[in-house]
Amino acid sequence: MVEIKQVLIPDIGDFKDVPVIEVLVKTGDHVKSEDPLISLESDKATIEIPAPFSGLIKEIQVKPGDKVSEGSPILVIEVSATEDGDASSAASTDQPVTNPPPVSTVIEPKQTAAQPIQKAQPSLPDSLLLDTAASSKAHAGPSVRRFARELGINLGLVTGSGAKLRILKEDVQAFVKAQLLKSQRGGTGAALNLLPWPQVDFAKFGPVEIKPLTRIKQIAGANLHRNWVMIPHVTQFDEADITELEALRKESNEAAKQDNLKLTLLAFLMKALITTLKKFPEFNASLDNHAGEANLILKHYYHLGFAVDTPNGLMVPVIREVDQKGVIMIAEELGKLSALAREGKLKPTEMQGASFTISSLGGIGGTGFTPIINAPEVAILGVSRASLKPVYQYQNNQFVPRLMLPLSLSYDHRVIDGASAARFTTHLAEVLADMRLALL
Ligand code: CAO
C-alpha cells in the first residue's frame, strides 16, 4: 500500500521565518528516515530537518531563500508500507505528519539584542554580509556556498572567476581580503591593523594531513572568536575548600546508586552558584549596548549553560530554572543533557536561554584556565581539577590536608569590576565550603 504524506517543519524552538539555505533532496529521490531534507540557518542556528520516515520524494515545496516556521510545509513523500514501519499507523489519519525534532542541530550561543553583535564579520560593512536570497541565486557549488555562509558573506556580491563565471573559494577569499583592506584604509579606527595571516606550505617541512574542522567547531569557533575580540575579558582565580562537600557527595552517592544516579560535583556546584548569583545579580545579566545607550538586563531567571566536550566539538546545553531544583534533579538533567549532546541529539530549545555558563574541566585535569564568555552573558565560571593541598589553619597553628577546587571566573570588564569579581568568587568559595549556606 502506498500513502502520500505531507512533511512539515517541526518544533524548532523560538525560531520563526528562518531562511532555507539548502534543499538537500530532489523530486524522485528515495530517502530513509532521519536523512537530512533541508538546512535552515537563522542568526543563531544551523538546523537540518530530517525525514520523519522513509519514502520517495514526490514534491518539493520550498526553495533556498524561502522563510519557514514551525508547521510550514516542506515537501511531500510517498511512503509504502513495506519501507516504513510507521506507514500503516500514519495511513489511518488524514492529518499531515510532522517530523520528529531535528537531530543534527548546531546552536550558536544566544546573542544580545544589539544588532551589530549578531553579524559574523563585524569588521565588514553590513551591506556585504549574508543575504540569503541573493546568495542562493549566485553561481557557486555547495562547498563554496558553505564557505561563504560560514564567513557570513553575500555571494551575490562576489564575482566568479571559474567557468561561466562560477564563484570559486578563491574568489570568496579575495573578496573578503579586499573588503577588509578597504575598511582598514577607510580609517574608521574600528579595524585592527594586523599583519596578514602567514601562508605556509607546511609540506615543505615534513608530512602533513589536512582534516576539515567539524561544522560544530566552525560555528563555535566563529562565536568564540567574536566573543574573545569584542568582550574585554578578565579572569579572576580562586580556590574553594570542598573537603566537606566531597564527603557529602560521596555519602549521597551511596544512596543515589540505588536509583542508578550519579551525583557529580557539577550538580552541587550549580546549586552553590545560584546562591552566589542571587547575591550578585549583575553576573546573571546581559549588556544591551546599542544606539548609543548602554543598559544592563538583569535576569530574574536562573538557566545555567554547561560546556560539554563531544566528539564533534563543544556544545552548551542549558538546565532551566536551576534555582527551583534540588541537587538530585540537577544531576539527572546534567546526565541526560550531556548524553544527548554527545550523541548530537540536543534540540535547539535545549541550548537556548542560558543566563550564566559553567565550563568544568575538573573531570579531566588542570589547575586553572581562562574560559571565554558565552555572549550575551557577562561572565563564565571555569572549574578545574580539585586536589589535596596543605592548608594552614591559624587556630590550630598547623597545616592540614584539604581538598581544594580551583575556580576561574572570566567576566566582562565593561559590566563587572575586579572588586565585584573577587567578592563573587570569595562568596562562591564560602558556599562550597559550607553548603548549608545554599539553604539559607
Ligand atoms: N575535581 C576533581 N574531580 C572531578 C571534578 C573536579 N573539579 N569534576 C569532576 N570530577 C570527577 C567526577 O567526580 C568523576 O569522578 P568519579 O567517576 O570518580 O566520580 C570524574 O571526574 C568524571 O566526571 P565528569 O566530568 O564525567 O562529570 P561532571 O559532572 O563533573 O562533568 C561534563 C560533566 C559534561 C561537564 C563533562 O563531562 C565535560 O564534558 N567536561 C568538559 C567541558 C569542556 O570541554 N569545557 C571546556 C570548554 S572551552 O573549550
Closest ligand 1 atom to 384 CA: 7
CATH architecture of 2-89: Beta Barrel (2.40)
pLDDT digits (tens, 9 = 90+) for 239-256: 999 999 999 999 999 888
CATH number of 114-186: 4.10.320.10
* CB-based contacts of 256, cutoff 8 Å, min separation 6: 262, 263, 328, 331
- Alpha-helical segments (H) within 83-238: 87-91, 132-137, 142-151, 169-185, 215-230
pLDDT at 255: 84
pLDDT at 188: 53
Ligand 1 contact via 386 beta carbon (within 6 Å): yes
Tens-binned pLDDT, residue by residue, of the chain (440 aa): 788 999 999 888 777 888 888 888 999 999 988 888 988 876 555 677 888 889 999 999 999 889 999 899 999 999 987 764 443 332 233 333 333 333 333 333 333 222 222 333 344 555 556 555 566 667 777 778 878 887 888 888 888 887 767 788 888 888 888 777 766 555 455 566 788 889 999 999 999 999 999 888 988 999 999 999 999 999 999 999 999 999 999 999 988 888 888 999 999 999 999 999 999 999 999 999 877 788 999 999 999 999 999 998 899 999 999 999 999 999 999 999 999 999 999 999 999 999 999 999 999 999 999 999 999 999 999 999 999 999 999 999 999 999 999 999 999 999 999 999 999 999 999 999 999 999 87
Ligand 1 contact via 270 beta carbon (within 6 Å): no
**3-class DSSP assignment, residue 181:** helix
* Backbone phi and psi for residue 370, each to the nearest 5 degrees, phi listed first: -115, 90
- Residues of CATH 3.30.559.10 domain(s) within the chain? 232-341+348-439
CATH 3.30.559.10 describes domain 232-341+348-439 = yes
Which amino acid would we find at residue 265?
A: L
Ligand 1 contact via 331 beta carbon (within 6 Å): no
Cα distances (Å, whole numbers) of residue 38 to 35, 131, 230, 243, 382: 10, 18, 33, 52, 37
Q: Nearest residue CA, atom 32 of ligand 1?
A: 308
Closest to 180 measured CA to CA, from 221, 122, 135, 115: 122
Ligand 1 centroid distance, CA of 361 (Å): 6
Ligand 1 contact via 408 beta carbon (within 6 Å): no
Closest to 173 measured CA to CA, from 138, 197, 207: 197
pLDDT at 182: 66
> Is-catalytic flag, 413?
yes
The rounded distance, in Å, linking the Cα atoms of 241 and 225 is 34
- Residues of CATH 2.40.50.100 domain(s) within the chain? 2-89
One of 139, 233, 290, 413 is an active-site residue; which one? 413
The rounded distance, in Å, linking the Cα atoms of 397 and 98 is 69
Q: Which triple of cell numbers denotes residue 220?
A: 563555535
- Residue-wise DSSP of 302-334: --EEE-EEETTEEE--EE--GGG--HHHHHHHH
Closest to 108 measured CA to CA, from 380, 379, 351: 351
Work out the number of other CB atoms within 10 angstroms of the CB of residue 26.
9
Ligand 1 contact via 375 beta carbon (within 6 Å): no
Mutate to test the pocket of ligand 1, among 223, 243, 264, 389 (most ligand atoms within 8 A of CB): 264
For β-strands 356-360 and 379-383, DSSP reports them as: parallel
Mutate to test the pocket of ligand 1, among 265, 332, 342, 364 (most ligand atoms within 8 A of CB): 265
Ligand 1 contact via 383 beta carbon (within 6 Å): yes
pLDDT digits (tens, 9 = 90+) for 420-438: 999 999 999 999 999 999 9
Closest to 318 measured CA to CA, from 345, 372, 284, 354: 354
- Residues of CATH 4.10.320.10 domain(s) within the chain? 114-186
